[in-house]
A and B are shown apart, each in its own frame.
Chain A
Amino acid sequence: MTDPLHHPLPRRRVVQALAGSAAGVALAGMPALVRANSPVRIGYTMARTGPWSVGAQVSQEPNYLLWAEQTNAAGGLDVKGTRRPVELLASDDQSNLETCVRTYEKLMGSDKVDLVLPPWGSNANFAVAPLANRYGYPFLAPTALSRRLVEMKLPYFFLLLQQPKPMMEALVDMLRSQGAKSLATIYVDDLFGLENYAALKVALQGSGIQLVEDKSYPLGVKDLAPVLRGIKDRNPDAFVGLTYPPDTILASRQSKEIGFNPKFFYASVGTAFQLYRNVMKEGAEGVLGMGSWNGKSSAAAKAYFDAHVKKFGAAKEPDRWASGHCWAGLEILSAAVAKVGLDRKAIRDFVAAGTHRTIVGDIRFQGSENVGVPGTVSQWQKGEFEVVWPKSRATAALAPAKPAW
C-alpha cells in the first residue's frame, strides 16, 4: 500500500491545476487581448456638400478612406507593436465654419476620440487649429496654406504644403533660368491670392524680370476676358495666375479664346487636378502650375497612385499637389503611432523633431512649417503633370515654351 501523504499528485489534480493556471493566465491576459482588438477611433469632418466640396473630395477625403482601408487590410494600425483596427468617425461639415467648430468640439471634448484628421481649406483650419491645440491633438493639415497660420505658433499644428515664399521663389528662379524678361499676373481677392502676390513681388526684386501688369479680381468672377486682353496687349513673356480652380479654368479657356499665348503660362491651384486635363484636353500641354509629385517621383508614390486609382476608378486620380501631401501626412501619423503609441503629446513631439520619409520626399518641420520639401513647379507634358523644377526633384525636363492653345 502506498503512503497517502507521500502519494504523488494524481493525474486528475495535475490536469485541474494546469487548466486552472491556463485559465488564470488567459484571464489575466484578457484585458490586453480586448485592448488589442478595440479600434483606434479617428474623427474628422469633411466638406461633402457646399463650395469646399470640390477640393475636399479630390484632395483629401479619398486619401483618408484609402488609408483606413489599406491599414485595416494589413491587419490594423500598428500601435507600438499591437495591431488595432482603424475606425473613422466622419461627418459632413457642409462647408460651414460653425459646423466644423461644433463637430470638432464634440469629437475632442465629448467623444474623446484617439486622433483627429483636419478638414479642408485654410478657413476651416484657422477655426479648428486653436481648438486642437487646446485639447492637445496633433493636427497635420494638407490643404491649409497661409503665413498667418505659421505665425500663430501653435505647437500641435503642422502645415504640410509648401508656403507661398518657397513656391514663388522656385517659380521666379525657373523663369529667370529660361531668360524670361517680363511677367504679368492676376490674383484672387483672397488670403491665398494676396499672400502669393506679395511673395511673388518680393521674389521678383533683383531677378531681372519686370512686372508689367498686376490685376486682382474678386472670388466668383464670371469673365476675365477684358483683363486678359489688356495683358495680351502688353505681350509679357510669362503669365502667372494666382487663381482657384474655377478661375484657373476660366482664365485658361478665355486665354485660348482671345489668342493669348505667352511663352510661360502658370496657374496656381487647379492645374494639378485631373479635371484640368479633362477640360482643356490638348490645350493643357505646356501649362505650368503648383505641383510637387507624380507617379514617377518614387516607387512608393507609384504604389499610392495605383492604389488610389484602383479604389476610386481611373476617373478619380489623386491630384499632383495636395493629395500627395495628404498621404504624406498620413504616413507620418502612422509612423508616429507605431513608434510612440497613442500618447498625443508624444506623437506631437515625434512629428516635430524628426525627419520623415514620405512619398513627397523628406518632410521636416520648423515650428508649424514644412521646410523639408522645397518650392516646386510642375508642367503638363503629354497628359502627365511632371515636376520640372528644381532639377533635383524633377521627373521630366522643362519644355521651354508653351505651344499655342
Chain B
Amino acid sequence: MTALAWFELIVSGLITGGVYALVGLGLNLQYGLMRILNIAHGEFLMLGAFLTWAAATGWGWSPLLMIPVSFVLLMALGVALHRLTFRRIARTSPDLDVFEARGLMVSFGLMFLVQNFAHATWGADLRGYDYLTEPVVLPGGAQFAGNKLLLLGLSLAIAALLIVVLRLTLWGKGVRALMQSPTGAQLVGMDTERLHPLMFGAGLGLSGVAGCLLSTAYTITPSMGEPYTVTALIVITLGGFGHMGGALFGGLALGVVEALGMHFTNPSLKSLLSYAVFIAALLCKPDGLFNRRP
C-alpha cells in the first residue's frame, strides 16, 4: 500500500476518532466526577444532530452557528435534568453503589424517553442536509470531503480546549479536585451544589456539539444515538474513568484501529473486535489502561 493510501486511511480513522473522543469526554465528565453512568448520552447527541438539521433546513442557519447554540441548549437541558432527577437520588441514596445503580436506571429511563420522543416528533426517516460536501484535495493528493476535515479540526479543537480549561483555570482545577476526592474538595470550599449540575450539563453539551458536527457529514435518524453511547463507554473504559487525556487518546486510537481493521479485514469484524477489546479491557484492567490513580 502506498504512503498516500496509508495517510488517507489514518486520517479517516482520526476523523471518526475525533467524534468518539468528544462523546467520550462528555461521558467521562459525568462518570468521573459524579459517578453517573449516563446510558442516554447518545440520545442527546441525536438531539443535537436533529436540532442542527432543523435549523439548517428550516431557517438556513449554518451548522457552525449551531455549535455554540446546541452546546448552550443541551447544557441547560442537562442542568435541568440533574436538578430534577440526579440531585434527588444523590440525597436519598444510602451509599455510592446504590446511587450508581439508581443513576443507571434513571438514565435508562431517559434513553427510552428521549429516543421515542424524537421518533414521535420527527419520524423514522433518514434525514440529512448538505454542508461543504465538495471534496478537498490536500497537498500530496489525498482527497477528503470538506465537512469531514472540518469535523476533525473542530472536534480536536474542542477536546483540546476542554483539557486546557481543566488543567489551567482555577475552576477546572476545582473540577479535577472534586474528581480526586469529593470530601476533600468540599472541605476546601468547592461548591458541589453548583458544580455538579454544571458539569453534568457540560457533558451533555459536549455530546450535543458532537451531534451537531456529525449531522454535517452523515445522515441522521432517531436511533443513531445508541452506537455512540456504546463507543463512548468503550472509550472511557480504555482511557480510564475520569481521565480526560486518556479519553481523548482512547477515542482517536479506537477510530484509527477501526479504520485499519475495516480495510484489512472486513467491516463485519469491526464490531466484534471493538466489543472484544472492550470486554478484555474491563476484565483485565477495570481502572482503565491509562489510569495512574492508585
Residues of A within 8 A of B (CB): 49-51, 53-54, 189, 215-218, 220-227, 229-230, 233, 245-246, 249-250, 253, 256-259, 275, 279
Task: Enumerate the 8 nearest inter-chain pairs by beta-carbon distance, A residue then B residue, closest first.
Answer: A217-B267, A257-B145, A226-B263, A226-B262, A53-B124, A226-B259, A259-B143, A218-B268
B126 touches A216 (CB 8 A): no
Q: Which residues of B contact A222 (CB under 8 A)?
A: 16, 218, 227
Known: A50-B124, A257-B145, A259-B143; 6 extra A-B contacts, CB below 8 A, are A226-B12, A226-B259, A229-B8, A257-B135, A257-B144, A279-B128
Q: Which residues of B contact A225 (CB under 8 A)?
A: 12
> What are 26 residue pairs bridging A and B, where the CB atoms are less than 8 Å apart in the complex?
A51-B223, A54-B124, A215-B267, A217-B266, A218-B268, A220-B227, A222-B218, A222-B227, A223-B12, A223-B262, A224-B267, A226-B9, A226-B13, A226-B262, A226-B263, A227-B262, A227-B263, A229-B9, A229-B12, A233-B5, A245-B126, A249-B219, A257-B133, A257-B143, A257-B144, A258-B8
Q: Decide if B83 is an interface residue (CB 8 Å cutoff).
A: no
Q: Would you give the shortest CB distance from B143 to chain A, in whole angstroms?
A: 5
Q: Which residues of A contact B8 (CB under 8 A)?
A: 229, 258
Contacts A218-B267, A246-B219, A259-B135; A275 near B143 (Cβ below 8 A):
no
Q: Which residues of B contact A257 (CB under 8 A)?
A: 133, 135, 143-145, 148
Q: Is the interface of A mostly helix, strand, loop or mixed?
A: helix
Q: Decide if B97 is an interface residue (CB 8 Å cutoff).
A: no
Chain A: CB-nearest residue to B259: A226
Q: Would you give the shortest CB distance from B24 to chain A, in whole angstroms?
A: 16
Q: Which residues of B contact A216 (CB under 8 A)?
A: 266-268
Chain A: CB-nearest residue to B269: A218
Q: Which residues of A contact B9 (CB under 8 A)?
A: 226, 229
Q: Decide if B87 is an interface residue (CB 8 Å cutoff).
A: no
Q: Decide if B95 is an interface residue (CB 8 Å cutoff).
A: no
Contacts A53-B124, A227-B262, A256-B133; A250 near B268 (Cβ below 8 A):
no
Q: Which residues of A contact B82 (CB under 8 A)?
A: none
B135 touches A54 (CB 8 A): no
A249 touches B227 (CB 8 A): no
Q: How far is the CA of A102 from the CA of B12 in the complex (A)?
A: 46
Our pick among B12, B123, B135, B268 for the contact of A189 (Cβ within 8 Å) is B268
Q: Would you give the shortest CB distance from A113 to chain B, in whole angstroms?
A: 28
B267 touches A227 (CB 8 A): yes
B267 touches A221 (CB 8 A): yes
Q: Which residues of A contact B263 (CB under 8 A)?
A: 226-227, 229-230
Q: Would you give the shortest CB distance from A217 to chain B, in whole angstroms?
A: 4
Q: How far is the CA of A222 from the CA of B128 in the complex (A)?
A: 14
Q: Would you give the shortest CB distance from A224 to chain B, in whole angstroms?
A: 7
Q: How far is the CA of A151 from the CA of B270 in the complex (A)?
A: 33
Q: How far is the CA of A49 from the CA of B120 in the complex (A)?
A: 9
Q: Which residues of A contact B145 (CB under 8 A)?
A: 256-257
Chain B: CB-nearest residue to A249: B219
A54 touches B268 (CB 8 A): no
Chain B: CB-nearest residue to A224: B267
- Give per-residue flags for B1-12: 1 if the beta carbon is below 8 A from chain A beta carbons, else 0: 100010011001
Q: Would you give the shortest CB distance from B258 to chain A, in whole angstroms?
A: 8
Chain B: CB-nearest residue to A260: B143
Chain A: CB-nearest residue to B2: A233
Q: Which residues of B contact A258 (CB under 8 A)?
A: 8, 135, 143-144
Q: Would you give the shortest CB distance from B16 to chain A, in whole angstroms?
A: 6
Which B178-201 residues have a C-beta within 8 angstroms of A?
none
